[in-house]
Amino acid sequence: MVVEEAVVSSDVQEGVPGWLLDDAVGPDAKFRQGDLIVFEGAENPLRKVGIIVTADCDLEQRKHARLVTLVPVVDARTVLERYLLFEDCERKRDLIESYLFKAYSIDVRQERVTKLTLLRQACAPSDLDGKDTRKVAADFIFGASDTIAVEGYVKLMRDIGSGPKGKNALRDQIRKRGDLLMLPSIRKLGVAGHIAWLRHIWQVGVDDIALRTSEVGDRPGERLGRLDSPFRYRLTQLMAQVFSDIGLPDIPDGMDEAMEEAYGDA
């Protein structure tokens, strides 16, 4: 039986806890849930590294239509610049708008629609570079960019008179978000990211992923290893929670009265 060398040998295994690495890949090797796939040539950070979340039973019984579903693995900067910093800016939208109205001498006593129309006209011919706070603010207000650079965000918050969120607060947000999962580090495999971002799942054909080193030159994706349990099971559990979550309306539930009756002044 002929086997090919795996991408990583077992002597690296000890330095990559939480991941399963193979010494060799047999001729009958198949994709499995939890496989770590790297697309080296991808420019989009949300499509560069992913973990297969297609169920093993579907892969085994060929119910996947030769497609596998992946959850992207990203670094902290990507989460900040494409997610959390946007959220903080959204909460401070009024402050950002006021900053721009003042910067472009727009009368704030006018109706908001009028002010925004004048602001759009004022920003349109602008030749400001991407580091200018006015451009960062305008791009956010008008949805002209899907990222906010950390440096631009910090300067914007200071210029509008609101302090930027601290590193510890943002770190805690990443750890507590239900659609983000901290993974064991894979830096020793050449992958800087270690956060699974569940909301950005995507699919690729199995023929686009190399299982063996001999296939790497012909396929954009390459399998490096497999996420170990219990991380693999936690990932799929979180996926079920995120995509099956049912939101409830905010209505009076009578709990205050019930607690008053049950607990009183004790």
- Domains of the chain, each with CATH number or no CATH: 4-75+180-244 (2.30.30.110), 93-161 (no CATH)
Question: Taking a C-beta distance cutoff of 8 angstroms, is the pair 102, 81 a contact?
Answer: no
Question: Would you state the pLDDT for residue 245?
Answer: 82
Say whether pLDDT at 265 is over 80.
Answer: no
pLDDT at 2 over 80: no
- Residue 218's pLDDT is 86
Q: What is the pLDDT of residues 139-153, one digit of tens each?
A: 999 999 999 999 999
Query: Which residue(s) pair with 70 in the sheet?
Result: 52, 202
Residue 252: what pLDDT? 82
Q: Which two tokens stand for residue 12?
A: 């690296």
Residue 107 has pLDDT above 80, yes or no: yes
Q: Residue 217: left (phi > 0), alpha (psi -120 to 50), or beta?
A: alpha
Note whether 157 and 84 are within 8 A (CB).
no
pLDDT at 38: 96
Question: What's the mean pLDDT when you consider all of the chain?
Answer: 88
Q: What is the largest CA-CA distance in the chain?
A: 80
pLDDT tens digit string along 16-26?
899 998 877 77
Q: What is the mean pLDDT of residues 116-125?
A: 89
Confidence of residue 79 (pLDDT cuts 50, 70, 90): very high
pLDDT at 4: 35
Q: What's the confidence (pLDDT) of residue 9?
A: 47
Backbone angles phi, psi at 55, to 5 degrees: -65, 145
Instruction: Provide the token pair at 219.
Output: 């396929």
Structure tokens at 43: 């420019």
